[in-house]
Structure formats: structure tokens, C-alpha cells
């Protein structure tokens, strides 16, 4: 049986709609605490809680800590901090778990819960199943003398800033570089600019005035238009945009062009290889641009496509023994220095690559040709079975055969909506347009015929 509440990246949904409700989150806190105490019955257990800047975070933070304390677990609150900072502090404090209250790049009216193990990695399936099983039991408050306590980590931001800076060489400096940093009014608002300033960069900041409702609003890694304009306006060398919880990053070069996660991974791979870090391969996803795959292979890197989702990327990295993987969205895992995707650390890796090669960002990517791609979403009630329908599979195979290795087809059921995502990628945009329209039309016809 599948999990009832946990998806590929925790629990997420619209605030006030089950299960993203205060009563459920209180029960979740108790379930997490109950699970931890069952594993460590004789220990004083700590759980770290961080959040992004959306207004509902106050409500869910209170609900979580109430449930955890009722189960006899001590809680340490970080306040608004990037998701990777919670993973880091969880490890350094020897906490039994880290919890992030965030819906990442989603609007303010969504929220969610992400969980990290004591090693700072996403929870495995076994732990999530065990927590869901605990949720089925009645909430039982431990005797008063055994209740947990709640304290605040006052130096969390400083610890994380120093950690980020420690991931580049001691002599690394951004002196002479002007950077526009877009924090999306999210969790990086009070740490990202400090990291770059303390490395001697001149920093112009966008999106660092959160009010609980403006997170990801026309800013951040999913909305780079304002960052592009500001880079050109102030004649900056780079623009760097994070998402609401700080685990994704994209760049804008000095010409105002967006540099996505695929291109950043290519640059980081080159830097890791040049520094003899044993980076023999890179993990991407089903969405990674074919042009990046080809460019990496031309540089001597192996390449593997995992399913979409950072959990699957990390699993593939471990399986292959590689230290770099990520997604075109800008969620990049550099496992030589971090246990999870970290926007600030990934940005520093890119800046290190640019500095070491002594060329502007756009010049380093001149020989990397991205393939045009287009995606059409087709509404379908049973999206998973539709992707396996013989007529649709045959049509997709025919298109891919006609592309003859110079393009590819991707049919993917959405994990969050009743949609089939139809994507075609090829060297020629005309081929992309023709084939994606043709294939999505077949998917639409079959969907209508079986419903």
C-alpha cells in the first residue's frame, strides 16, 4: 500500500484543507514524537523546527511543538531559515529529526511539512510509514514530569552563514563582483546577502522584506523577470535567485539571460572535475535538457536520469557513487559538502567555477546548446494508467523513432494534479511544436474515450 499523507517531498497542500490543518499537524507532531521515543525510549530526544516566511508558519509551528512536547520530545526552534539550514543544524546538534514548515516555491496560501533524519537527509519510506501508522493512534500525553521543553536557537543564522562560507576554499573572494540577490521574500532573506557580502561581493538585494503573504510573489527562482531587469539596471556581474525555502537557485548572467539548474550543474561538474573530486558522473532527471546531457558526455562525464524529485536524485547518486546531481529547477545536491539541495552552497560552487576559469558566466556556456522543448498538460482523471495505455505508448514510440536520437519524448503523470504531462524535446523547434501537438492530441482523445 502507498503512503496516505507523505508525497515525494513531505506533506503539502492548501492551508486549511486537510491534511494541512492545525489539528492534523498537532497529531503529526505527536506521531513524529511517538515514533522517535519508540526508537530512543531511554534518551532525551531533540527535534529541530525551522520554517519559511509564510504567515501560516506561526500556526503550524505551534501545533507541531505542542504534539512533540506531548510525546515527551524536546524542541529547538530556528524560526525562518532555509530548508538546508535545518538539515545542517539537525546534524550538528545531534537532533533526532529536523522539521521544515514550508511549501517551497508555492504561493503563500500553501504550506507543508518536510522531515529530515538525524543525518540531515530526507526520511526514508520506512520512517514515513511508521509515522503514518502512529497517526492512527489516539494522542496520548506523556506524564507531566516527562513532557518535552521548547527553546530557541538564537545563533542559527550565524552558524549557517559560516557553514556556507566553509564550503569554498579559504582564499576564495568575490571582491570586484557585483551580485543582485533575489530572496523571494522567503527563508534566505536574512542570510543569503550576508554570505556573499562576507566574501567581499558588492550586493544588491531583492525580495528581502517578507510580510507573510508575499513569499514567491513575482520574485524568486520561478519568476526571474525582476531579477533580469535589475541585473541590467545596475550593471551587475550576476543575478542569483532562490525559491521560498532556499533549496533551489538559478542565475542571471551579465546580459540578463537566465541560467537554469541544468546549466549550473554543467558548470559545477567541470569545477569538481578540475579540483579532482572524483566526479565521474552526474545524476539528472527525466526533465534534464538533452543538450546538457550531450555536453556532459563530451566532457567525459557519465550521466543518469532519475525520476523527477530530489529524493530520487539522491538515491541515484548513492547508487552510482557520484557526488553531484540535480534538476533543471535549480535543486542541486553537492554531496561533498551537503546532505541535501542547498541554493546558497550551489551558488557558491558556480561562482567558484566562474572565478577559477576567469571568464564571464555567459562565455562559459557559449558552447552548450540547449535543445528546444515544449510541454503540454492534458487533463486526465487516471493519469497514471493513461500513460501506460497501448495506443499512447505506441504513438510516443513512433515519435521518438522519427526523432532518431536527435530528440526525445516524455509522458509523465503529475504527482499532484489530474494531468498527464506531454513533453517533446528536439534540435529543431519546428519538430518540437509539431510532435508535441500531435502527441498531446492523441493523449487527449484517449483520455476522453476511457472516461
Give φ, ψ of 182 to 5 degrees.
-105, 110
Give φ, ψ of 213 to 5 degrees.
-120, -10
Lookup: cell for 357: 576559469
Q: DSSP assignment, residue 368?
A: -
Strands 110-116 and 46-51: unpaired
Structural contact between residues 30 and 71, judged by C-beta atoms closer than 8 angstroms:
yes
Residue positions annotated with a catalytic role: 104
Q: In what order do the strands lie in the sheet with 281-285?
A: 302-306, 281-285, 324-326, 332-334
Burial class (CB in 10 A: 0-12, 13-18, 19+), 286: middle
Taking Cα atoms as reference points, which of 409, 403, 410, 411 lies closest to residue 428? 403
CA distance 237 to 252: 9
Lookup: cell for 340: 541535501
Lookup: cell for 369: 546548446
Structural contact between residues 324 and 317, judged by C-beta atoms closer than 8 angstroms:
yes
Amino acid at each position: 500500500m502507498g503512503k496516505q499523507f507523505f508525497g515525494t517531498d513531505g506533506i503539502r497542500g492548501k492551508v486549511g484543507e486537510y491534511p494541512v490543518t492545525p489539528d492534523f499537524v498537532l497529531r503529526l507532531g505527536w506521531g513524529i514524537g511517538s515514533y522517535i521515543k519508540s526508537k530512543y525510549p531511554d534518551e532525551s530526544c531533540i527535534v529541530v523546527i525551522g520554517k519559511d516566511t509564510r504567515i501560516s508558519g506561526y500556526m503550524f509551528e505551534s501545533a507541531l511543538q505542542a504534539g512533540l512536547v506531548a510525546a515527551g520530545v524536546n524542541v529547538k526552534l530556528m524560526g525562518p531559515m532555509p530548508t538546508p539550514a535545518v538539515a545542517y543544524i539537525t546534524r550538528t546538534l545531534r537532533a533526532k529529526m529536523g522539521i521544515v514548515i514550508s511549501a517551497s516555491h508555492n504561493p503563500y496560501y500553501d504550506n507543508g511539512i518536510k522531515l529530515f533524519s538525524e543525518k540531515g537527509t530526507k526520511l526514508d519510506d520506512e520512517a514515513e510509514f511508521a509515522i503514518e501508522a502512529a497517526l492512527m493512534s489516539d494522542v496520548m500525553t506523556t506524564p507531566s514530569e516527562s513532557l518535552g521543553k521548547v527553546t530557541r536557537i538564537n545563533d542559527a543564522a550565524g552558524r549557517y552563514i559560516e557553514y556556507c562560507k566553509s564550503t569554498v576554499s579559504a582564499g576564495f573572494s568575490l571582491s570586484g563582483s557585483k551580485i543582485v540577490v533575489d530572496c523571494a521574500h522567503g527563508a534566505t532573506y536574512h542570510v543569503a546577502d550576508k554570505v556573499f557580502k562576507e566574501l567581499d561581493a558588492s550586493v544588491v538585494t531583492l525580495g528581502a522584506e517578507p510580510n507573510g503573504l508575499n513569499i514567491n510573489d513575482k520574485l524568486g527562482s520561478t519568476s526571474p523577470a525582476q531579477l533580469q531587469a535589475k541585473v541590467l539596471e545596475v550593471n551587475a556581474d550576476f543575478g542569483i535567485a532562490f525559491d521560498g525555502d532556499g533549496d533551489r537557485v538559478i542565475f542571471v548572467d551579465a546580459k540578463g539571460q537566465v541560467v537554469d539548474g541544468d546549466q549550473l550543474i554543467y558548470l559545477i561538474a567541470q569545477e569538481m572535475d578540475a579540483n579532482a573530486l572524483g566526479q565521474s558522473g552526474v545524476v539528472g532527471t527525466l526533465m534534464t535538457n538533452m543538450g546538457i546531457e550531450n555536453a556532459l558526455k563530451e566532457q567525459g562525464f557519465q550521466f543518469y536520469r532519475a525520476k523527477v524529485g530530489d529524493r530520487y536524485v539522491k538515491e541515484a547518486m548513492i547508487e552510482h557513487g557520484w557526488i553531484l546531481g540535480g534538476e533543471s529547477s535549480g535543486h542541486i545536491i553537492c554531496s561533498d559538502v551537503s546532505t541535501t539541495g542547498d541554493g546558497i552552497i550551489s551558488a557558491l560552487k558556480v561562482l567558484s567555477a566562474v572565478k577559477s576559469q576567469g571568464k564571464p558566466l555567459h562565455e562559459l556556456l557559449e558552447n552548450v546548446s540547449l535543445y528546444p522543448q515544449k510541454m503540454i498538460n492534458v487533463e486526465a482523471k487516471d493519469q497514471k494508467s493513461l500513460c501506460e495505455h497501448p495506443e499512447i505508448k505506441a504513438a510516443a514510440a513512433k515519435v521518438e523513432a522519427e526523432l532518431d536520437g536527435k530528440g526525445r519524448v516524455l509522458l509523465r503523470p503529475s504527482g499532484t494534479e489530474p494531468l498527464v504531462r506531454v513533453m517533446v524535446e528536439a534540435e529543431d523547434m519546428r519538430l518540437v511544436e509539431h510532435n508535441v501537438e500531435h502527441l498531446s492530441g492523441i493523449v487527449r482523445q484517449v483520455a476522453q474515450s476511457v472516461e
